[in-house]
A and B are shown apart, each in its own frame.
Chain A
Amino acid sequence: MLSKRIIPCLDVRDGRTTKGIRFKDNVDIGDPVAMARFYYEAGADEIVFYDITASHERRGIMIDVVRRVAETIFIPFSVGGGVRTLEDMREVLLAGAEKVSVNSAAVRNPDIIARGAEAFGSQCIVLGMDVKHVNRSPAIPSGYEVVINGGRTTTGIDALQWAQRAEKLGAGEICLNSIDADGTQEGYELNLTSRVSSQAGIPVIASGGAGRPEHLRDVLTVGRADAALIASMVHYGSHTIADIKSYLKQCGIAVRPCS
């Protein structure tokens, strides 16, 4: 049977890692290649890089990071952030990433999912979703709305409907981030995660809110997620991947051993 995946997420700006607290006040915590290697050796099952470089001219820096990461770690990793075109996808995949994630660009142009899946295979294409809890309405029957531009722009799209549509278009995986929980370290959005996971025929990675190992236990059981994204709780040294996995194993959750 498959193990549940524990996935550190590294936010990268201009070739350096940061960690956004609710997408604001980023602090620089280092070199992405060194951090990727650290987490690879510490037992991460996969690594997610999220490129938050603002200027288009500096995007080439990320490709260089991807290339160096691919020479250093021998587990899958994905790259997201600012991926807009088929050409952006190709560049990231050829540099050595296993997967590429699309978020805002897919909302603006859903066809990018289908074209990416056709060109590179569904297993390469991750739909990144930022979701916010809102009042239920005819347009948003689930009470969860897709937001873009790092949570600054609402879309009027229902998150559950969007997840379903993206899967039909050929997304191979969903990385589901709760804007409400992100950066709080108070736990994942379990209701949202469980609703999206239950309807999805593709794996769901839960994101946003991890602060303690219990949060991962909850999202991998009650939340029915296939994988859990973690950031601050490991970046700042309050927990290690080994601690988290050992706790999850005690809880009867299948995880890959760290050594």
Chain B
Amino acid sequence: MIAIIDYKAGNLTSVARAVSHLGFPCAVTHDITAIRRAQRIIFPGVGAAGAAMSSLKQLGLDEVLTEQAAAGKPILGICIGCQVIMNHSEENDTLCLGLVPGRTAAFPAGLADEDGRSLKIPHMGWNRIRIRSEHPFLAGVGPEDEFYFVHSFYPVPDDPRTVLATSDYGLSFASVIGRGHLVATQFHLEKSGRPGLRMLGNFCAWNPSDSE
């Protein structure tokens, strides 16, 4: 069973539908026992970092996530779930989970593309990723594959080895992160067509201990 963490931060049904479509059993839950019992955890979400962290705390899920990450359970963070795993977010000046050392920063104003045209914020739409470090999570993903992004903030890990892939939008930012048994994507892999489903499937089948 895969536990999809329900912390009242947006449309979680789309993640559950994608996981079910791939044939893996899952449950959307904030029940601590169910999360502890799950084989793996997906930590999705849209919304703001401040609201996300306060919901997590209110439900006692911040501690469970920290505990489960320390225990080595495979965890996948998506979008806001990729931002609040850092130590701190510039969004609402929020103290975050600190599962990956680093911070979450805002896209600066005045970003421009190669032709000098100003870029719109949020970064919304389809973009590529450049793989920086091979990982079972990224198996079968090619340089032409594109993923669906919607965000105004992005994670900045301290340790470049935790950056599995980057994307470009006026600047280069970490779009896939991996540390131990934790992986995270800034894009919505549940809404990224076939390549997104492939990565989601990779996570659902990933046995980190095999690769060690």
Contact = CB atoms under 8 A, between A and B. Distances in A.
Interface in A98-139: 98, 121-123
A1 B169 contact: yes
Given A1-B169, A70-B13, A76-B148, A123 B122 contact: yes
B124 A3 contact: no
Interface in B158-212: 168-169, 188, 190-194, 196-197
Decide if the interface of chain A is mainly helix, strand, loop or mixed: loop
B57 interface: no
Interface stretch (B14-22, B26-34, B36-44, B82-90): B14-22
Interface residues of A, number: 29
Given A70-B13, A96-B11, A96-B14, A123 B127 contact: no
A93 B10 CA distance: 9
A98 B10 CA distance: 10
A156 interface: no
Contact of A71 (B17, B47, B121, B145): B17
Contacts, number: 77
Contact of B124 (A40, A70, A172, A257): A172
A45 B11 contact: no
Nearest to B122: A123
Contacts of A226: 120, 125
Interface in B110-169: 113-114, 120-127, 144-146, 148, 150, 168-169
Given A1-B114, A96-B17, 12 more contacts: A1-B113, A3-B127, A5-B125, A74-B190, A75-B192, A75-B193, A122-B122, A123-B124, A123-B150, A172-B122, A226-B125, A257-B146
8 closest residue pairs by CB, A with B: A2-B125, A256-B146, A3-B126, A256-B126, A123-B150, A76-B191, A257-B144, A75-B193
Interface of B: 10-11, 13-14, 17-18, 21, 46-47, 113-114, 120-127, 144-146, 148, 150, 168-169, 188, 190-194, 196-197
